[in-house]
Amino acid sequence: MTLRLHDTAAREKHVFKPQDPKRITMYVCGPTVYNYAHIGNARPPIVFDVLRRLLTAIYGRGSVIYARNITDIEDKIIKASLDTGEPIAAITKRYADIYNADMAALNVLPPTVEPWATDHVAEMIAMIEKLVRKKYAYVGKDGVWFSVAAMPDYGKLSGRKPEDNEAGARVDPGEDKRAPADFALWKFAKPGEPEDAIWDSPWGRGRPGWHIECSAMAEKHLGRTMDIHAGGIDLQFPHHENEIAQSECAHGEVLANYWLHNGFLDMGGEKMSKSLGNVVLVHELLKDWPGEVIRFAMLSGHYRAPLDWTPELLKQAKTTLDRIYGALRRVWEAEGGRATYRVIREALEDDLNTPEALAALSGIASAANTAADQGDHEMMAATRADLLAAGEVLGLLTMTPKEWEQGGDADDTARIDALVAARVAARVSKDWAEADRIRKALAEEGVEIMDGAGGSTWRRI
Ligand SMILES: [Zn+2]
C-alpha cells in the first residue's frame, strides 16, 4: 500500500515521501482563541487527525511530530479585551481550554506540540529582521511590511498573482504600504491598545502580524522544511501564501513538501454566518450528540469536497454508529483475532478517502453480524480485531459497546447504575411500588431496564 496525498501546490495526488520516516513533521493552523469554535472550525482538526493517525499506523508510534498552534495575539482578541476589560491572557487561556476540551470530545488527539504565539515573539522578530535585511520587507509608518513585489513567485500555492487581489485588497487610509497586496509583519501599537498586547521591537513597540506567527512557530518546532502543512481552504490565500513568502524568503528553503486543504462546510446549502444566524458551536452540538457521531458525520464526506452539514447527516451518523457498535457487541467476547482491515487502509491511503473507509467499516460490521449468526468464532475474532483497528485509525469505536449504548457519560452511567441497583433492592424486599417508581423515572429520561437471568441491565432508547 502506498500513501498518496493531493498536494494543493502541485494540484494533483502525489506519493507521500517523508524527509525522514522516523520524524514526519506536520503543521495545522490552530484556533484564534477569543470565543467558541464553530463546527466549520472543527473540520481541519478532525480530518487531519485522521491523517496523523494514518501516518502513525504506517510509520509507527512516535514517528509523527504534529504541531497545532494557538493564536493568542490577534486584532479580534485585543478587541475582546478592550470590550470586556478582561486581561488578554485570561481570555485566551479560557478559550484554549474550551477548544482543547471540545477537540478531545471529538476524539482529536492532542498535538505533539502546541506552540502559543506569545511565547514566540522573539523568534518572530528574528525572522522579520532577516526579511528586512534581505530587502523582502520595509519599515513604514504603521508597521513593517512584506513587499510582495520582492518575491517573483509569490502566489505559487493559490495560483493568484498580487495584481489579482489589488482590486479586492483593502488599504486603510492610514496604511503606508507600497502595494495593496503587501502585508503586515509587525504592527505598531496604536493609542489605547492594551499593554499586554504590546512588545518591544527594533522598529518600535507593537505586535506581530498573524502570518508571521505561524512561520516562526513552524520553524522553531519543525525546522525550515516540514513534510505536510495543512488547514482549511479559507486559509490557502492569503494566510498560507504569506507563510510561504515569509519562510521561503527568510530561509531560501521550501516551507512544506505537501500542502493539504479541506473544503468548506455549509449549513443546509448556505454559508455559515452570524448574519444568517446559522452558526453552530461545537460546544453546543456536544450537548446533543456524542462526539463520535459528530466526528463520523464530518468524515462522511471527502475532506477536499464541500460538506453540507444538516441535522439529517447527524441522525444518519448516529444510526450507522448504533449499528456498528451493535455488531461490535456481538463479537466483543471473541478476542484474539488479527486485524487485516486492508480495504479501510487502502481507502485512507488514497488521499484520505474517508467516505469509502466508513462504508468499508459498515461492511466489517455486517461480516461481524454474519459471523455471530453462524457462531463462527474465528471470524468473530477477526472482525472484532478489524473493527477496533479501523476504529483506531479513524478515531471511532473508542467506547465499549456497553458504554456506547449507555450514552458514554461516566457520571451519568454511575447514577443510572445506582438507580437500577436500588430498583433491584426494592424488588428483593418486595417493595413493588418503589421498584415501579424507579422504572418509570428512568423510562422518562429514555432509559430502558432489561431484566434477565444474569440480573438487570439498561440501555438508552
Ligand atoms: Zn497558520
Work out the pLDDT band at 169, boundaries 50, 70, 90.
Answer: low
* Predicted local distance difference test score (pLDDT) of residue 406: 86
The amino acid at 107:
N
Work out the pLDDT band at 125, boundaries 50, 70, 90.
Answer: very high
- Average pLDDT, stretch 97-106? 96
In contact, 280 and 37? CB cutoff 8 Å: no
**Which pLDDT tens digit goes with each residue over 424-446?**
999 989 999 999 999 999 999 88
Residue 374 CA: distances (Å) to CA of 320, 330, 361, 380, 386 = 23, 12, 20, 9, 18
Rounded to two decimals, what is the model's pTM?
0.90
Give CA 163 to chain center in angstroms.
Answer: 33
Taking phi first (over 0 means left), then psi (-120 to 50 degrees means alpha), and beta for anything else, what does residue 2 get?
beta
Q: How far is the CA of 27 from the centre of ligand 1 (A)?
A: 8
> Which of helix, strand or coil describes residue 129?
helix
Task: Return d(Cα 298, Cα 302) in angstroms, integer.
Answer: 9
In contact, 434 and 440? CB cutoff 8 Å: no
Domain boundaries, the chain: 4-262, 267-405, 410-460
Angle between the N-to-C axes of helices 377-394 and 354-374, in degrees from 0 to 180, rounded to the nearest 10:
160
Q: Provide the total of helices (H) and of strands (E) in the chain, helices listed first.
A: 16, 15
* Predicted local distance difference test score (pLDDT) of residue 172: 59
Q: How far is the CA of 99 from the centre of ligand 1 (A)?
A: 17
**Which pLDDT tens digit goes with each residue over 301-335?**
999 999 999 999 999 999 999 999 999 999 999 99
* Predicted local distance difference test score (pLDDT) of residue 456: 84
Residue 445 CA: distances (Å) to CA of 417, 435, 441 = 14, 16, 7
Task: Show Cβ contacts of residue 429 under 8 Å, excluding neighbours closer than 6 positions.
Answer: none
* Predicted local distance difference test score (pLDDT) of residue 274: 85
Asked whether residue 390 carries a pLDDT value surpassing 60, the answer given is yes
Q: How far is the CA of 214 from the centre of ligand 1 (A)?
A: 5
* Predicted local distance difference test score (pLDDT) of residue 229: 98
Q: How far is the CA of 40 from the centre of ligand 1 (A)?
A: 16
32, HSE (Cβ side, Cα atoms, 13 Å): 14
Q: CB neighbours (10 Å) of residue 155? A: 21
Q: How far is the CA of 247 from the centre of ligand 1 (A)?
A: 12
Task: Return d(Cα 299, Cα 395) in angstroms, integer.
Answer: 10
Give 300-342 as a DSSP string: TS-TTS-EEE-HHHHHHHHHHHHHHHHHHHHHTT--------H
Q: How far is the CA of 28 from the centre of ligand 1 (A)?
A: 7
Asked whether residue 408 carries a pLDDT value surpassing 70, the answer given is no
Work out the pLDDT band at 459, boundaries 50, 70, 90.
Answer: confident
> Which residues fall inside 5 Å of ion ligand 1, going by CB?
29, 214
Q: How far is the CA of 285 from the centre of ligand 1 (A)?
A: 26
Asked whether residue 171 carries a pLDDT value surpassing 60, the answer given is no
Q: How far is the CA of 231 from the centre of ligand 1 (A)?
A: 8
Alpha helices (H) in 162-278, listed in sequence order: 162-166, 210-222, 241-251
As beta bridge partners, residue 12 has: 7
Q: Which three cell numbers stand for residue 246?
A: 515569509
CATH class of 4-262: alpha beta
Cis peptide bond N-terminal to 238, omega within 30: yes
The amino acid at 111:
P
* Predicted local distance difference test score (pLDDT) of residue 161: 78
Task: Return d(Cα 364, Cα 384) in angstroms, integer.
Answer: 9
Q: How far is the CA of 239 from the centre of ligand 1 (A)?
A: 6
Task: Return d(Cα 91, Cα 73) in angstroms, integer.
Answer: 11
> Which of helix, strand or coil describes residue 35?
coil
Q: How far is the CA of 173 from the centre of ligand 1 (A)?
A: 27
- Report the percentage of the chain scoring pLDDT > 90: 86
Task: Return d(Cα 398, Cα 81) in angstroms, integer.
Answer: 39
> Which of helix, strand or coil describes residue 16?
coil
Q: How far is the CA of 124 from the centre of ligand 1 (A)?
A: 13
Q: How far is the CA of 216 from the centre of ligand 1 (A)?
A: 10
Main-chain dihedrals φ then ψ at residue 176, nearest 5 degrees: -110, 50
Q: How far is the CA of 461 from the centre of ligand 1 (A)?
A: 43
The amino acid at 359:
A
Task: Return d(Cα 327, Cα 91) in angstroms, integer.
Answer: 45
Q: How far is the CA of 241 from the centre of ligand 1 (A)?
A: 10
In contact, 217 and 182? CB cutoff 8 Å: no
- Average pLDDT, stretch 205-217? 97
In contact, 377 and 410? CB cutoff 8 Å: no
Task: Return d(Cα 222, Cα 253) in angstroms, integer.
Answer: 13
**Which pLDDT tens digit goes with each residue over 80-100?**
999 999 999 999 999 999 999
Q: How far is the CA of 228 from the centre of ligand 1 (A)?
A: 12
Q: Given 3-state DSSP classes, what are the helix, strand and coil percentages for the chain, each rounded to the nearest 5? A: 50, 15, 35
Q: How far is the CA of 29 from the centre of ligand 1 (A)?
A: 4
